[in-house]
Every structure is written in C-alpha cells, then in structure tokens.
Structure 1
C-alpha cells in the first residue's frame, strides 16, 4: 500500500524508518564508540535502501551524540536505576526520545513516545517497551507540560 506524505511534507513511514536506523546507530555507538560521521556513513546505505528520512536520521544521531550527557542527566530523574544500568536497546530508545522531546518541539510528544515504544518492541527485550513507556510518560509530563496537559483535557 502506497502512503503519501502529510500536508507539511513529513512522511511518517520514512520518519519511523529513520528512528529504527537511529536506534541501531545509537546502539552501535553505545557498544563500540565512534563519531557521528562514521555512524551515519555505516548506516547510510541501509537508509537509502529502506527509503528512510535520511535528514531526520542524521539529526537524531548527531543530536543524541552531541547532547548525550544532558539527555542522560535529564532522564536520570525518571529512572529507577542509573542510565548505565538500563538495557542497551532501551537506553538508545530513551536517548532518542529524550532528544526529540527536548530538542524537537515540532514532533508531538505522543508520536515520540509511540515511536520509542514501537522500536523497543521491535529490537528490545520482551517487556522493555513498558519500561520505556513509563519513563517517557513521566518525562513528557514534565518536559512538555503544556502539551501534555492539553492532550489530557481533549
């Protein structure tokens, strides 16, 4: 089934693919290190093959790497353990979602949370998505309080 971009030009399917590749790139960085350029190059071929939103993928990877200390500190108040103790896949999903919640106000918080849950279900442990959901619900209520509260009223 063919899909069409929204009126604002954003293609949600391509964005989802970009987030999945972003999760894989952040996971690889967490395990092996490296810089944004090498990670992007490593996954660029798969990005093109999968017809993902390459610009968004690059923004996620560069943003998480640039801000990972800030993101980890911001997330730490919502975790029941240290960031380092969080499963690698869940940690990558949480870092990407935290980046989007804090640095991409153009993306609705519900989209951020749903995408993080979906990617964690796909790549993470059996119940990892429930942990990610709980952490991000609390984070969104704090970081995007106005948006969060207005969505609860409707």
Structure 2
C-alpha cells in the first residue's frame, strides 16, 4: 500500500500516541520504558521506538529540564500522563531537530486535550513552551 505525503503527519501522530501509552505504562508500572517496548507483541512503528528509546536514554536530562521549568512542580509530583507527555515533547525539542517546534507544541496540546484535564493542558503547554524557548530560541 502506498502512502501519500500527508500520511507522514498522521503516522507521526499515531507514533506519538503509541509512545505516550508505552511511556505511561512504564511509569505506572515502575519499569524501564525499554522493558515495556520489548513486551509489545507487534513491533511499534519506527518513530514510536525512536521516541521511547530517546526518552528512556535521556530521562535524567529531560527530568532536569522539566524540573527547572515547571515552577513549583517536581517530576515526582506530576500526574503520570502529564509527565509522559512533557518528557516526550522535551525529547523531541532537544533531540529531534527535524521536527518543527510548532509541530511539537501543537501535538502536545492535542494529546493533553485528549488524555488529560483542561487544567493539565495549560500546565503542560506552559512547561513545554518555556523549554522550547530555551532549547530553540526564536522558533
């Protein structure tokens, strides 16, 4: 089956949703995200794998950034779904230079709207936007 150029956007969205689920599952189970990734009966899309491996491999760097920009909230106090969303977005901002900042911000807003609360949406968007300003000034 052939894909049209517009499918790449949809597939990245699906990859992010799958990665979010895997990162959330790992956090709530208290296991390494790579363990949850390895348990999948059908291998996820390559971008899903890249996101999960990237977050797992850079988790201390990501959490340090998040703690510095989350104004009064440590990563240990954040709801698991919000933390998974923020980690994934910050990983993309810090390490996926081919992904536009606007795409990262747009996706995190959409995903938090689907999977978390309205109050969390403002918080998550604020943290990710502040980190984006630091990591990608002027974009």
Regarding TM over 0.5, the answer is yes
Query: Any stretches of 5+ residues in structure 1 without a counterpart?
Result: 48-53, 149-154
TM-superposed CA distance for 1:125, in Å, is 2.0
Corresponding residue for residue 23 of structure 1 = 20
Instruction: Tell me the C-alpha RMSD between the 2 structures.
Output: 1.9
Query: Any stretches of 5+ residues in structure 2 without a counterpart?
Result: none
Mapping 1:1-154, distance limit 5 Å:
4-6=4-6, 11-43=8-40, 45=42, 47=44, 54-80=45-71, 81-146=73-138, 148=139
Aligned residues: 136
So what's the TM-score if we normalise by structure 2? 0.88
TM-superposed CA distance for 1:5, in Å, is 1.9
TM-superposed CA distance for 1:35, in Å, is 3.9
TM-superposed CA distance for 1:67, in Å, is 0.7
So what's the TM-score if we normalise by structure 1? 0.80
Q: Would the aligned equivalents of 1:79 and 1:135 in 2 still touch at CA under 8 Å?
A: yes
